[in-house]
């Protein structure tokens, strides 16, 4: 056997090695860029920590300054004139003590001064200075004559942070950082004084001990461009000079005092700018390490794979030789037909894979059709299961909602009847006409075609669905002699109401046959039809009550009374009595929540039997059969569960979902498949209380438990028990318990956090 194939394999493998090495090198470069970007983001994150630290300190100073400015004692002192009474001096003494305590308790402040311009009073944590004595304090603390100090402090300052030298313009042995706030804070009033904080710069600069912080230069400037902070005093002039050049350039890498730095800078909402200068050696250290490791790995990989190339090529050739012998039954020369034999074998394998793929797709489609059929008929109640399978089968429902379109073919060309072509044509024609604005997911349910129709885009609309369906029906009639009727449900948005939407379309398509010349009817139009006969909420509730008790006799009498009343009192036509029959069946099915009932109904399919019924008596027999099944199911259920089934399920749902901020009567009604009015009425009748009050009672009970067993704050507890706003929670809590949450904790011997 010739070794041509072995040689080709060896060369191919070597080429693959070269390509792999090239790919690895490219991957390394991409990874290196990613690491560099990550380092930049990390350094920017460090800078953001500094920004947050300064903002937090600044906000703390603002709160402290505003609280002092609104202190009645300070307001009184700033309103004093030069004639100070003994009582005023006593107040000044008390305020002096308060400022001393405040300065000691706040580690971010070294000193606090209060100046009242009318009384010419300078109050500090050390003492109170009047008149000429102010000169002693201003020269000692601010290196300024008293007159210059009064002139500067007379200006208005609103949350001003500035260096003493930048504020006074004078050179001094020390240059502390000051915070100045004019009193009063209202811009419309004349200044009567000011609060001055001397900021503790050691606390201000304590943002971390990371190596990046220790090696980096940090510079902070206020909105006026004055430098308010730097952690490297000897870099002050050089950095400030660079920042002036930075305003004219996009440079991010600079050299200061013979050392290379990377610059990161940011500006906050107040106009303050923050700049950090990271030494190039610190920034590049992890990158250089990765580069050295990657380069060494690259050379090792290349060398090892070069040695293994021949070994693997030779070893891999032996199985191919055996494969050729096993598939060549005719004994042909392998060196002349290897590629042809391999190609033939692969082609056959691909054909088999394609066949299996087609079978799997067919089975998947059948499973999807079965799922949609069960979902539409209400046999799946788990929302998680519905959503998971919708995602698996690619069914997307827009936020604009969906409608169920149900098509029933009444008559078609005889040459199509045996083949099922009419339904195929109708389904494909509807899907084509509804697109591209609408998504349509079709499923055959017995002799009907149901389509779940939803807009493609969230902002789409379902308003044109009737016109599109009418166009499809006209084309079926004119081109294929296929006559059809369509029913369209109301717009729904929850997957839990999909079976309701299906029954709406089913009811609508049945009524389309009752009305003359009506091919399409929407469920909204049935409201006018239902106004012609009486079957209101009270009748429905009574029927549901008899079914719950398992009282078949009373249920049958009630149904007979409803039919007889509509026959004699309203004297409506036979078609509308048929509508009444459908309403009765729908009400019975909707009222029963039991798996056994669903199985029995699925076996009997009362809706299909009623649609095929040719008389009112036949339809009535179906109704009585359905109510008999319902009563029999409830008769087998434990008597204790019969009387409280609905209310217990509602109470259980509330206890399990009270933390949901959107929990209300409407949402619970959607979950149980009934209207809010119906739900409220049933719950009120069984318990004597409203659903809303029950929700609040459960929430307050949960809050009481959290208040006593945890240290969580009121706002956090309010959020966990389902209230958007803590004020609303406090109001509801007090209305139920007579005390606020904080008082409740105190009364039960637990301090408020």
Tens of pLDDT, residues 100-138: 888 888 888 888 999 988 888 888 988 888 888 888 888
Does 727 score more than 70 pLDDT?
yes
User: How do 520-522 and 483-488 pair as beta strands?
Assistant: parallel
- CATH classification number, 365-530, choose in 3.40.50.2020, 3.30.830.10, 3.40.630.30, 3.30.70.270: 3.30.70.270
The number of beta carbons lying within 10 Å of the beta carbon of residue 514 is 16
pLDDT at residue number 1: 39
Q: Does pLDDT of 71 surpass 90?
A: no
Between 144 and 253, name the one with better pLDDT. 144
pLDDT of residue 330: 47
In terms of phi and psi (left: phi > 0; alpha: psi -120 to 50; beta: otherwise), the region of 48 is: alpha
Q: Is 348 exposed, middle or buried (0-12, 13-18, 19+ CB in 10 A)?
A: exposed
Q: Closest by alpha carbon to 197, among 6, 399, 61?
A: 61
Query: Residue 186, Cβ neighbours under 10 Å: how many?
Result: 9
pLDDT at 637: 58
**pLDDT-based confidence at residue 332 (cuts at 50, 70, 90):** very low
What pLDDT was estimated at residue 194?
93
Please tell me the predicted confidence (pLDDT) of residue 249. Answer: 45
Torsion angle of the four alpha carbons 30, 32, 36, 41, in this order, in degrees rounded to the nearest 10:
60
Q: What class has domain 645-747?
A: mainly alpha
Mean residue pLDDT of the chain comes to 77
Q: Taking the CB of residue 707, how many other CB atoms lie within 10 A of it? A: 21
Helical (H) or strand (E) element with 611: helix 606-612
Q: Is the dihedral of CA 461, 467, 473, 479 positive or negative?
A: negative
User: Is the pLDDT reported for residue 638 higher than 60?
Assistant: no
Please give the residue that has the higher pLDDT: either 366 or 150: 150
User: What's residue 180's pLDDT?
Assistant: 93
| pLDDT band at residue 308 under the 50/70/90 scheme | low
Whole-angstrom Cα distance, residue 211 to residue 387?
50
Asked which of 241-250, 300-309, 414-423, 547-556 is least confident by mean pLDDT, the reply is: 241-250
**Radius of gyration, CA atoms only, the chain:** 42
| Highest mean pLDDT of the ranges 240-244, 245-249, 646-650 | 646-650
Q: Please report the pLDDT score of residue 16 as a whole number.
A: 66
How close are the terminal C-alpha atoms of the chain, in Å? 88
The per-residue pLDDT for range 373-391, each reduced to its tens digit, is 888 887 787 888 888 888 8
Among the listed residues 128, 109, 116, 46, the one whose alpha carbon sits nearest the alpha carbon of residue 76: 116
Domain segments of the chain as ranges: 70-204, 365-530, 537-637, 645-747
Mean pLDDT comparison of 156-160, 405-409, 415-419, highest-scoring range: 156-160
- Region 154-179 average pLDDT: 85
For the chain, what percent of residues have pLDDT higher than 90? 2
β partners of residue 123: 114, 128
Q: What is the DSSP letter of 491?
A: -
User: What's the rounded Cα separation, in Å, for the pair 83 and 100?
Assistant: 25
Residue pair 699/722 in contact (Cβ under 8 Å)? The answer is yes
Domains 365-530 and 645-747 in one fold? no
Is the pTM value of this prediction over 0.75?
A: no
Can you tell me the distance from the alpha carbon of 668 to that of 660, in angstroms, rounded to the nearest whole number?
11
Residue 415 has pLDDT above 80, yes or no: no
Residue 196: what pLDDT?
A: 92
Question: So what's the pLDDT on residue 318?
Answer: 61
- Return the higher-pLDDT residue of 163 and 300: 163
The DSSP element (H or E) to which 747 belongs, if any, is: helix 741-747
Residue 639 confidence (pLDDT) above 50 = no
Token pair for 714: 């009121």
Who has greater pLDDT, 393 or 518?
A: 393
Token pair for 130 = 């009047």
Tens of pLDDT, residues 622-637: 888 888 888 877 776 5
Q: Who contacts 595 (Cβ-Cβ below 8 Å, separation ≥6)?
A: none
pLDDT tier at 681, thresholds 50, 70, 90: confident
Dist. CA 358–CA 361, nearest whole Å = 5
pLDDT mean over 409-436: 73
Which of 320-329, 577-586, 629-638 shows the highest mean pLDDT?
577-586
**Tokens standing for 258?**
């013979």
Residues in the chain: 753
Residues 173-208: tens digit of each pLDDT? 788 889 999 998 887 788 889 999 888 887 777 765
Provide the sign of the torsion angle of the four alpha carbons 84, 86, 89, 95, taken in this order.
negative
- Whether the per-residue pLDDT at 607 is higher than 80: the answer is no
How high is the pLDDT of residue 195?
A: 93
CA distances for 13 relative to 20, 334, 646, angstroms: 10, 21, 72
Q: Structurally, what CATH architecture does the domain formed by 70-204 represent?
A: 2-Layer Sandwich (3.30)
Instruction: Report, as an integer, the average pLDDT of 388-413.
Output: 82
Q: What is the mean pLDDT of residues 149-175?
A: 85
What was the pLDDT predicted at 322? 65
Q: In the structure, what pLDDT confidence band is assigned to residue 640 with cuts at 50, 70 and 90?
A: very low
Per-residue confidence (pLDDT) for residue 744, from 0 to 100:
87
Q: What does the pLDDT read at residue 182?
A: 92
């Amino acid at each position: 056997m010739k070794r041509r194939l072995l040689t080709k394999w060896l060369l191919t493998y070597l080429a693959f090695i070269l390509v792999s090495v090239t790919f690895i090198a490219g991957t390394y470069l991409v990874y290196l860029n990613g690491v560099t970007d990550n380092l930049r983001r990390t350094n920017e994150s460090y800078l953001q920590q500094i920004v947050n630290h300064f903002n937090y300190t600044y906000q703390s100073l603002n709160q402290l300054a505003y609280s002092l400015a609104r202190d009645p004692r300070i307001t009184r002192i700033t309103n004093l004139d030069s004639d100070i009474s003994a009582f005023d001096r006593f107040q000044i003494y008390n305020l002096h003590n308060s400022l001393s305590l405040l300065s000691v308790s706040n580690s971010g402040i070294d000193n606090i001064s209060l100046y009242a311009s009318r009384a010419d009073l300078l109050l500090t944590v050390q003492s109170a200075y009047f008149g000429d004595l102010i000169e002693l304090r201003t020269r000692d603390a601010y290196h300024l004559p008293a007159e210059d100090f009064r002139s500067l402090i007379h200006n208005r300052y609103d949350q001003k942070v500035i260096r003493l030298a930048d504020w006074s313009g004078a050179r001094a042995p020390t240059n502390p950082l000051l915070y100045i706030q004019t009193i009063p804070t209202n811009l419309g009033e004349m200044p009567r004084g000011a609060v001055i904080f001397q900021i503790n710069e050691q606390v201000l600069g304590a943002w971390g001990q990371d190596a990046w912080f220790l090696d980096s230069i940090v510079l902070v400037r206020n909105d006026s461009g004055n430098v308010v902070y730097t952690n490297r005093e000897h870099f002050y002039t050089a950095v400030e000079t660079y920042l002036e050049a930075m305003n004219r350039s996009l440079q991010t890498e600079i050299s200061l005092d013979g050392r290379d730095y990377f610059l990161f800078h940011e500006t906050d909402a107040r106009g303050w700018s923050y700049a950090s200068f990271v030494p190039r050696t610190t920034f590049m250290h992890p990158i250089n390490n990765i580069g050295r490791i990657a380069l060494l790995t690259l050379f090792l990989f290349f060398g090892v794979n070069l040695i293994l190339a021949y070994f693997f090529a030779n070893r891999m050739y032996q199985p191919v030789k055996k494969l050729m012998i096993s598939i060549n039954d005719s004994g042909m020369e392998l060196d002349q037909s290897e590629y042809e034999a391999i190609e033939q074998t692969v082609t056959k394998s691909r054909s088999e894979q394609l066949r299996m793929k087609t079978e799997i797709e067919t089975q998947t489609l059948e499973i999807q059709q079965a799922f949609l059929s069960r979902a539409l008929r209400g046999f799946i109640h788990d929302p998680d299961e519905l959503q998971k399978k919708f995602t698996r089968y690619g069914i997307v429902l827009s936020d604009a909602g969906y409608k169920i379109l149900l098509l029933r073919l009444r008559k078609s060309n005889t040459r199509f009847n045996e083949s099922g072509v009419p339904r195929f044509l109708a389904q494909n024609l509807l899907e084509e006409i509804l697109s591209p604005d609408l998504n349509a997911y079709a499923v055959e349910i017995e002799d009907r075609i149901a389509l779940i129709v939803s807009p493609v885009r969230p902002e789409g609309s379902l308003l044109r669905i009737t016109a599109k369906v009418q166009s499809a029906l006209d084309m079926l009639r004119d081109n294929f002699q296929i006559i059809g009727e369509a029913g369209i449900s109301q717009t729904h948005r929850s997957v839990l109401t999909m079976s309701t939407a299906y029954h709406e379309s089913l009811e609508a398509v049945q009524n389309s046959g009752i009305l003359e010349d009506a091919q399409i009817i929407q469920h909204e139009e049935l409201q006018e039809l239902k106004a012609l006969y009486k079957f209101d909420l009270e009748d429905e509730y009574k029927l549901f009550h008899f079914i719950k008790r398992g009282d078949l006799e009373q249920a049958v009498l009630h149904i007979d009374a409803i039919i007889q009343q509509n026959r004699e009192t309203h004297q409506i036509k036979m078609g509308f009595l048929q509508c009444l029959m459908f309403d009765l069946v729908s009400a019975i099915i909707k009222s029963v929540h039991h798996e056994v009932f669903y199985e029995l109904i699925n076996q009997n399919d009362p809706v299909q039997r009623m649609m095929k019924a040719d008389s009112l008596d036949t339809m009535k027999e179906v109704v009585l059969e359905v109510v008999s099944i319902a009563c029999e199911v409830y008769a087998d259920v434990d008597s204790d569960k019969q009387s409280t089934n609905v209310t217990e399920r509602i109470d259980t749902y509330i206890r399990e979902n009270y933390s949901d901020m959107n929990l209300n009567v409407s949402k619970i009604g959607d979950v149980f498949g009934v209207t809010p009015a119906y739900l409220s009425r049933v719950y009120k009748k069984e318990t004597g209380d409203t659903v809303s009050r029950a929700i609040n009672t459960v929430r307050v009970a949960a809050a009481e438990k959290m208040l006593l067993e945890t240290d969580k704050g009121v706002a956090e507890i309010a959020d966990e028990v389902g209230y958007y706003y803590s004020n609303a929670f406090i109001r509801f809590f007090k209305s139920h318990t007579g005390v606020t949450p904080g008082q409740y904790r105190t009364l039960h011997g637990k301090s408020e956090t």
